[in-house]
Amino acid sequence: MEKKQFERPYIKKLQAGMPSKFGMKSRVEPLTHIEDNGVGDLIKEFGSPLFVISENTIRDTYKKALHAFSIRYPKVQFAWSYKTNYLDAVCRVFHQEGSWAEVVSGFEYDKALGNGVKGSQIIFNGPDKTDEDLKKAVENDSLIHIDHFDEMYSILALSEKSGKKPKVAIRVNMDTGVYPMWDRFGFNYENGDAWDAINRMMINEKLELVGLHSHIGTYMMSTNSYKVAAGKLADLAHGIEKKYGVHIKYIDIGGGFASKNTLKGAYYPGTDTTPSFGEYAEAISSGILNSELDPRNLPTLILETGRALIDDAGWLLGTVIANKRLSSGNRATIVDVGVNLMFTSFWYEHEIFPAAPVSEHLEETTLYGPLCMNIDVLREAIAFPLLKKGDHFVIRRVGAYNMTQWMQFITLRPNVVLLDTEGKPHVIRKKETMQNITEQEVLPGHLT
Amino acid sequence: MQIKKNIAVSETGFVFDPTSGESYSINSEGQEIMVLLKDGKTAEEISETMCAEYEIDKAGFEKYFYDFIGMLRQFQLIETED
Amino acid sequence: MSKRKITVALTGLNNTDNPGPGVPVIRGIRESGEFDARILGLAYESLEPAIYMDRVVDKTYLVPYPSDGTDVLINRLLEIHKKDPIDVLIPNFDAELYAFMRSEKILEKAGISTFLPTLEQFEERHKSNLPDFGKKYGVKVPFSKALTRADEIEDLKKDFEYPLMVKGKFYDAYLAYNTEQVRMHYNKITAKWGLPVIVQEFIKGTEVNVVALGDGKGNTIGAVPMRKQYITEQGKAWAGITLDDKKLLDLTDKVISGMKWRGGMELEIVKSFDNELNIIEINPRIPAWVYLAVGAGQNLPEALLKLALGEEVKPYTGYEVGKMFIRYSNDLITDVKEFEKLSTQGEL
């Protein structure tokens, strides 16, 4: 007779109460495979924890987003937001699909060049561009998005030396009904600073103002704010049309689209509330199309969408280290994935699935990471199946920010694999070794 | 170890403790263990029965068994030895 | 005339001291001269009283909370529908409406009729959108602001005079006299209902309520105004009386015809001391005191059923003024066996 699968014995007090947000939990379905690769097999081959990225998902998501915008607006260009995930393999998939690069530091700029992106297709954002960075960007005809007047003067000084006419855009901040308002970046719309900056650039023959840029916030659930932002940028562009007879080349609406992760404190899950690409596209394109802009000379619409394009394409596979009961009698499960790898667990309630079929029994559990630090909590409270030591699990939607904001803290960072379009895994970032870390260290002579 | 006599363990995985008025839900592993305990089986006997039926070895089972007993004790479902 | 057989599924069976509208809606349907209804109760918790009440529900199914996600809830509903076909679904909680509105087409395709407001209507009347709502429809509303961060509380004194109301996205409302109290309520509310938390100007006056039903084309099918005569510690009506007030009915008509409201609604109105009517809340469903309307001559649950079935419904033109309701609590006796069955099998 074949033996039955063993689940650890479990008993739970039935606590009846009136509706609250933790009610009858439905059964958790296992996530056994990632595109035909068994979770256990992947871990066996590449170790645990393990980041897995799907090339198919990236390409499909990108095509969906591009389609949503292209059917509503005639000229659309995506620029891959490097800070969201700058693993070269990931960037190259986006570039193959036609994405430009959007970078915010000299380091990211060089990475984009290294990935074969043409200088003229790199958007250089951010408040911290060194003179050296700017010089390179001017020489390469990159699109420099000016954050403050100091930067404008640096660029002017550089252009005098190089004899090139830098292509610039200005970053505009504005009230779109979203709080907090991001007014630390760029020039303000409402108080006239933005229009003032535009005029100073338009009359300066050493600069070519090619675009207007805004980035209203992050994880924006309200599409209407984008409509307001697009409308205000379009109004500025129309002002330029009227005053100078110049058609601005592009409007860059930035990023900030939400992914389907659930923010902490949200009542509904993100899968229910996150706007679709279609809804964002509808808001943004109508904001521009309904403006006074000359419809025969519409600017290109640039999107720096990061999170919404990559979050779904990443999974983090891990293993249960131990189960224990806390003094309160509550269950705690310790896993080999901590906040060192999952920066986003500070603001999301990540969905976590068992990697093998489980019974319908769920236990209210706290999921702790492996770090010897009290802050290392993946989920404060999750109705989780009864996993045993050594069982695997999968965290979903981790493609954005985790592979750039992760920390080499207490332990080393694991392998990252990319499943190609055939589903074949390739290591795209090797797990760190002791040497990787120590070779950067220098011991003073008296300590050797 | 003895489960309190008046405790009803149903096949559907429902446990009712008439002394405290509390109700509990258990999984089938938990239910089987409770029934075996009620029948007065020893830890050794329970381990044998369970390991014969499930994909688990004795060392593995023991760990979960004592954890489960810990829960039963916490919920005061086990007779205290006087 | 023999009554038509129909199966109605509904939620809101928590007939406690802060009752959901399930039981009164069921009573209205049970008293209908036209329908012979089989009632399927959809319960979120195994202790919702109506599950165990006599002649209230014919059968109960446990369903997952809407916060688990629309798909999970709808799948469970379709699973129930497969073995126990549902003709009409009447949701009675604000928090679940969103899921059902989004899934109206799926439900309709499966053969489950609903009569719900549109997503736009639902959003428009949201507490946090009330100032815009007031402007658009030309009705008086209190000044309000939606908070998404605790550090915005300090700044409230710039725009508000204390005391002010602190409200949850779906439920809960507290009066706060100072920043500290706002902070306390903010924390309590976010833990339960998430963000945003709505802060509203407190208008002194008498609170009156209207239960109404719109046909989605701008017509008011029925409307009955009521003043609470006795309020529980939770702020719920314990007793109330129907009012004769043309101004209240006109305001209701204005809202329903302006929005082309579809489905049941409750208007919470404060009549200030200078007799101005301020709408402080628009609830997108039938309230728990709807049985007063039935008792006063307007069987709104029955009318809602007919609208859901796509039938023409003649508007009610009158109701009895001076009808009262007095709520009472009652202890019903059941056995732990019943509780066990529901807890382990998810149905009873």
The answer to whether position A127 is within a domain reads yes
Give the separation between CA A417 and CA A54, rounded to whole angstroms. Answer: 9
Same domain membership, residue A91 and residue A48: no
Phi, psi of C187 (to 5 degrees): -65, -40
Residue C253 confidence (pLDDT) above 70: yes
CB contact under 8 A, C149 and A180: yes
- Which among B26, B50, B55 has the least Cβ separation from residue A11? B26
Q: In Å, how far are A61, A87, A372, A419, A422 from A416, measured between CA atoms?
A: 20, 9, 24, 10, 17
Which is it for strands A100-103 and A352-354: parallel, antiparallel or unpaired?
unpaired
- Please indicate whether, in this complex, the C-beta atoms of B75 and A12 are within 8 angstroms of each other: no
A25 assigned to some structural domain: no
**Would the pLDDT of A209 be above 90?**
yes
CATH of the domain at A177: 3.20.20.10
Domain C4-115+331-345, CATH: 3.40.50.20
d(CA C62, CA C50): 13
How far is the CA of A38 from the CAs of A96, A356, C256, in angstroms? 28, 10, 55
Is the CATH code 3.40.50.300 the one for domain C143-201?
no
Report ipTM (2 d.p.): 0.87
Chain B partners within 8 Å of C341 (Cβ): 12
Same domain? A155 vs A129:
yes
C178, C189 Cβ separation under 8 angstroms: no
Same domain assignment for residues A124 and A47: no
Contacts of C70 in chain A (CB under 8 A): 271-272
Check whether residue A136 and residue A279 sit in a common domain: yes
Q: How far is B68 from chain C (nearest CA, A)?
A: 20
For A429-438, how does the pLDDT look when each residue is reduced to its tens digit (9 = 90+)? 999 999 999 9
CA neighbor of A124 nearest in space, from A116, A110, A114:
A110
Which residues constitute the domain of residue A426?
33-53+313-432
C195 CB within 8 Å of a chain A CB: yes
Minimal-distance CA residue of chain B relative to A326: B71
Percent of chain C scoring above 70 in pLDDT: 100
Chain A contact for C149 (CB, 8 A cutoff):
yes
The residue-averaged pLDDT of B31-51 equals 91
Confidence of residue A23 (pLDDT cuts 50, 70, 90): very low
Give C344's contacts in chain B (Cβ within 8 Å).
10, 12-14, 25
* A140 in the same domain as A287: yes
| DSSP class of A263 | B
> Rounded to an integer, what distance in angstroms lies between the CA atom of residue C83 and that of residue C68?
23
Q: Nearest residue on chain C to A22, judged by CA atoms?
A: C65
- Asked, for residue A296, whether it belongs to a domain, the answer is yes
Give domain status of residue A439, yes or no: no
Per-residue confidence (pLDDT) for residue A37, from 0 to 100? 95
Question: Number of CB pairs < 8 Å for A and C?
Answer: 76
User: Cβ of C336 and B16 within 8 Å?
Assistant: yes
Q: What pLDDT was estimated at residue A16? A: 56
> What's the whole-number mean pLDDT along residues C319-347?
87
Helices and strands, counts by H and E, chain C: 12, 14
Q: Do A8 and B75 touch (CB under 8 A)?
A: no
Element (H, E) at C8: strand C4-10
Q: Find out whether A396 and A318 touch, Cβ atoms under 8 Å.
A: no
Q: Give the model's pLDDT for residue A27.
A: 63
Give the pLDDT of residue A178: 65
Break chain C into its structural domains and give their ranges. Answer: 4-115+331-345, 143-201, 204-326
Residue C211 near residue C224 (C-beta atoms within 8 A): yes
DSSP percent split of chain A into helix, strand, coil, nearest 5: 35, 25, 45
Return phi, psi of residue C147, to 5°. Answer: -100, 135
Query: What ranges do the domains of chain B cover?
Result: 8-74
Residue of B14, B17, B19, B27 to mutate, interface with C, max C Cβ within 10 Å: B14
pLDDT of residue A9: 87
What does pLDDT average to over chain C? Answer: 89
A4 found inside a domain: no
CB contact under 8 A, A6 and B55: yes
Residues of chain C with C-beta less than 8 angstroms from the C-beta of B23: 336, 339-340, 343
User: B–C: how many Cβ contacts below 8 A?
Assistant: 18
- Residue A177 confidence (pLDDT) above 80: no
pLDDT tens, residue by residue, A375-408: 899 888 888 888 889 999 999 999 999 999 999 9
Number of domains observed in the structure of chain A: 2
Q: Is the pLDDT of residue A24 over 50?
A: no
Residue A225 lies in a domain: yes
| Contact across the interface for C340 and B12, Cβ inside 8 Å | yes
Boundary-marking domain end, from A311, A343, A370: A311
Length of chain A: 448
Q: Does any domain span residue A164? A: yes
E strand or H helix at A195: helix A193-202
Indicate the helix (H) or strand (E) that contains A365. Answer: strand A362-368
Q: Which two tokens stand for residue B5?
A: 């006599």
Find out whether A67 and A393 touch, Cβ atoms under 8 Å.
Answer: no
Q: Which helix (H) or strand (E) holds A188?
A: strand A187-188
Average pLDDT along chain A: 90
For an interface test with B, the pick among C334, C336, C347 (most B C-beta atoms closer than 10 Å) comes out as C336
Helices A277-289 and A223-244 cross at an angle (nearest 10°) of 30
Most confident listed range (A172-176, A288-292, B20-24, C179-183): A288-292
Q: Tell me if chain C has a CB within 8 Å of the CB of B14.
A: yes
C-alpha to C-alpha distance for A265 and C210, rounded to whole angstroms: 32
Whether residue A177 sits in one domain with residue A164: yes
Q: How far apart are CA A250 and CA A431, in angstroms?
A: 41
Which residue in B has a C-alpha nearest to residue A325's C-alpha? B67
Residue A28, in any domain of the structure = no
Handedness of CA C16, C22, C26, C27 (dihedral sign): positive
Q: Is the pLDDT at A312 greater than 70, yes or no? A: yes
* Span A233-290, pLDDT tens digits: 999 999 999 999 999 999 999 998 988 888 887 778 888 888 999 999 999 999 999 9
Taking contacts as CB-CB distances below 8 angstroms, the residues of chain C near A267 are 67, 95, 169-170, 193-194
Q: What is the CATH number of domain C204-326?
A: 3.30.470.20
Using DSSP, state whether C209 is helix, strand or coil: strand
For residue A360, give the chain B residue with the closest CA: B27
Task: Please give the pLDDT value at position A18.
Answer: 38
Nearest CA in chain A to B24: A13
Q: How far is B12 from chain C (nearest CA, A)?
A: 6
Q: What is the pLDDT of residue A1?
A: 65
Which tokens hold the place of A109?
Answer: 């700029």
CATH no. for residue A355? 2.40.37.10
- Cβ contact (<8 Å) for B14 and C345? no
The torsion defined by the Cα of C15, C17, C20 and C26, in degrees rounded to 10, comes to 40
